[in-house]
Chain A
Amino acid sequence: MEQKSLMKRIAAARNHLVLFTILILAATAAAQDWIRTGTGLGVEKIRLAASDFKPATQDPKNTDLLKTFNDTLFNDLDNAGIFDLVSKSFYPLQVPGQPTELKAADWSASPAPNASMLAFGNLGVAADKVTVQGWLYDVKSTSTSPQVLGKQYNDNATAEAVRVIAHKFADEIIFRLGGGIPGIAESKIYFVSKRSGNKEIWAMDYDSANQHAVTHLGTISLSPRISPDGSRLAFSANNKTGWDVTMYSFDLNRIVSFPHFGGMNFSPSWSPDGAKLALSSSRNGYPNIFVIDASGGNPRRLTSGQGPDISPIWNRKTGAQIAFVSGRTGLPQIYTMEADGTNVQRLTDQGYAVSPNWAPNGQFLTFSWMRKYGPGEPGSNDLYLMDIASKQWVQLTHDAGRNDSPCWSPDGRHIVFQSHRTGTDQIFSMLADGTNVKQLTFSGDNSQPDWSWK
């Protein structure tokens, strides 16, 4: 019973306070590896309470809007992954609507609620306008200025506007308490959905709200990738003569013209400066990786040979490297190369490895891997995280159907992916250590999620 333990601590990018602590315990050679990874393992999470906001006016619209606001805010803080969010059942009966009503000792009391921080405030509708006042207080502070944050928002009194306000306030709290990393509450997820009959590109808020179709092409649309500035969406669409990179403009709310290359053109991916796209094109015969300008011009071929080479993805931190998938040696494996096509390195050494995606820090790749694959080896199809420098990897999903198409959130704390664990392909999100899995879609088949860059 030899027991080996390997502990590896990787500091994320210089300005990030996120620490990935990777703990690998290989119990025996034959047994499955036990792996635990975490965002900030060993770092105590801030114990945060978020009391329901109180009505500030007598308007009958307050009730519904308050419910929307409170649910959205609590969910955003819960999703953030950096808080130990105090359950509402521990809260005092009297909650404050503004600082004069706050009794800090009721919130910091041990053993419960034992909060360090409290978010509270009020919401009031008047003449179809809504005003939200929100505060964040350090309830354990003994100083004379325990206020960490005080914000006021005004907008139309609609559920959608109130949801956006809740997201903005949540992001303020997360930014302030999360080491200066912007929150993701206003980010979007683009994905492929077949719920209308054909595979079209859909969009939703990061928390699954507001799901709607972007394209209505009636053919097959795949592999959506949103531009870094969020203004354009590149994807691959089937037409009579093949597959073309297709471009949707959110400024114009329509598909804009893009050159036809001929052949099969798949899996476009943006460079982090938004100036170029990498893609797989068979314009010269076999599917190889090309780079083109974002306008579609100036194609350069980066790989050659029979491949097939597919699924290129730029290092979103440096823009200097491209990861991709190639079947040049048989089953598909993950490779990296410089953005000019030189220095090709193979990262995976066995099985079926596809769908690479760079972490925002530019140091990690996540991908989908059937490590043991082949006749008689059904192998489970799980998501993995690899540290590029050391090629050390950890497994993020376990024993839960086929998992594919991972994509990082802009804050580097979350991963969205598709999973077949419920019997159909659906979109899920999780923290980057594999915990806190949430299902985001339920209707029809949904796949290939892509998280916005901010």
Chain B
Amino acid sequence: MKHPMRRWLTLVFILSAILMVSACKKKTAPPPPPPPPAPPAPTASLSANPDTVEKGQSATLTWQTTNATDVSIDGIGPVEPNGSKSVTPTDSTTYRLIAKGSGGTQDATARVTVNAAAVAPPPQPSLTEQQLFAQNVKDIYFDYDKADIRADQQASLQAGARFLQQHANIRITIEGHCDERGTTEYNLALGTNRADAVKNALVQGGVAGDRIKTISYGKEKPFCNESNESCWQQNRRGHFVYEQ
């Protein structure tokens, strides 16, 4: 029971992160127009550039508001309605801007992620580990009817192997997938060889084989459902699934 709950929490986290980021990037849509006499509601946006810094480096916060009389950023204090400011956070920080006006209150957030410099990261909660997994362990793509690792996939494979070596607790499943062309049974066999090829490459890259399960889905679970080469290429892959 623990495992699905964790996955669910991860999903919630990722979704909320997406919501937050999009709130920074886009102008927030104004609320439905109030009755004519009511004053217009304030709008606010806040962004950080860059949004990821090494420890000790600075990032610039930039904000715009409208219809606001009282604008402040948590941790910085009152600011001009529109402006920018350099910040040097010591840890990853979420900045929150609050714009108050006669039409109401609007807030906006921006996060600056601080990477610890070369120091071993503190034990990560599993949510973050799964995100890191997704960032570092990329699916491996194959040529038509082939199960050997393409030269242009070696970099992805090496990066994935490095990450898995550094995170020895992670167990994975490699799914072998094929495009829609050809017959069901042969594609299942081909997908088996693709998953095995990726596993063997990881094992050669120093990842313990007993951490890796493989399964073939042939053409049974495509990522993309159109009948063209770009879609077929999407479906010819060894797909990594985080198991722990």
Question: Inside 8 A of B213's CB, which chain A residues have their CB?
Answer: 241
A354 contacts B185, C-beta separation under 8 Å: yes
Q: Which of B193-219 contact A (CB under 8 A)?
A: 193, 196, 213, 215-217
Nearest CB of chain B from residue A220's CB, rounded to whole Å: 5
Asked if A304 is an interface residue, CB under 8 A from chain B, the answer is no
Known: A286-B196, A331-B145. A222 touches B184 (CB 8 A): yes
B192 contacts A311, C-beta separation under 8 Å: no
Question: Inside 8 A of A447's CB, which chain B residues have their CB?
Answer: 184
Nearest CB of chain A from residue B174's CB, rounded to whole Å: 12
Question: Inside 8 A of B220's CB, which chain A residues have their CB?
Answer: 199, 220, 222, 238
Asked if B11 is an interface residue, CB under 8 A from chain A, the answer is no
Asked if B188 is an interface residue, CB under 8 A from chain A, the answer is yes
Q: Which of A42-85 contact B (CB under 8 A)?
A: none
Asked if B161 is an interface residue, CB under 8 A from chain A, the answer is no
Secondary structure type dominating chain A contacts: strand
Asked if B123 is an interface residue, CB under 8 A from chain A, the answer is no
Question: Inside 8 A of A267's CB, which chain B residues have their CB?
Answer: 185
Picked from A199, A243, A311, A327, the residue with its CB within 8 Å of the CB of B216 is: A243
Known: A282-B196, A287-B193. A355 touches B188 (CB 8 A): no
Question: Inside 8 A of A286's CB, which chain B residues have their CB?
Answer: 192-193, 196
Nearest CB of chain A from residue B198's CB, rounded to whole Å: 14
Question: Inside 8 A of A242's CB, which chain B residues have their CB?
Answer: 215
A308 contacts B145, C-beta separation under 8 Å: no
Residues 16-45 of chain B: 1 if any A CB is under 8 Å from the residue's CB, otherwise 0? 000000000000000000000000000000
Asked if B183 is an interface residue, CB under 8 A from chain A, the answer is yes
Asked if A426 is an interface residue, CB under 8 A from chain B, the answer is no
Q: Which of A221-265 contact B (CB under 8 A)?
A: 222-223, 236, 238, 241-243, 263-264
B189 contacts A327, C-beta separation under 8 Å: yes
A266 contacts B188, C-beta separation under 8 Å: yes
- Give the tally of cross-chain contacts (CB within 8 A): 80
B193 contacts A307, C-beta separation under 8 Å: yes
Asked if A107 is an interface residue, CB under 8 A from chain B, the answer is no
Q: Which of B86-118 contact A (CB under 8 A)?
A: none
B145 contacts A266, C-beta separation under 8 Å: no
Picked from A222, A310, A327, the residue with its CB within 8 Å of the CB of B145 is: A327
Nearest CB of chain A from residue B222's CB, rounded to whole Å: 13
Asked if A92 is an interface residue, CB under 8 A from chain B, the answer is no
Question: Inside 8 A of A266's CB, which chain B residues have their CB?
Answer: 185, 188-189
Chain B residue with the shortest CB-CB distance to A367? B183
CA distance A280 to B217 in the complex (A): 15
Picked from A241, A263, A331, A448, the residue with its CB within 8 Å of the CB of B184 is: A448
Nearest CB of chain A from residue B215's CB, rounded to whole Å: 6
CA distance A287 to B185 in the complex (A): 11
Most A Cβ at <10 Å: residue of B183, B196, B213: B183
Asked if B182 is an interface residue, CB under 8 A from chain A, the answer is yes
Known: A199-B220, A330-B145. A264 touches B192 (CB 8 A): yes
- 8 more contacts with CB within 8 A, not counting A222-B220, A352-B182, are A238-B220, A242-B215, A310-B185, A311-B183, A327-B186, A354-B182, A354-B185, A355-B183
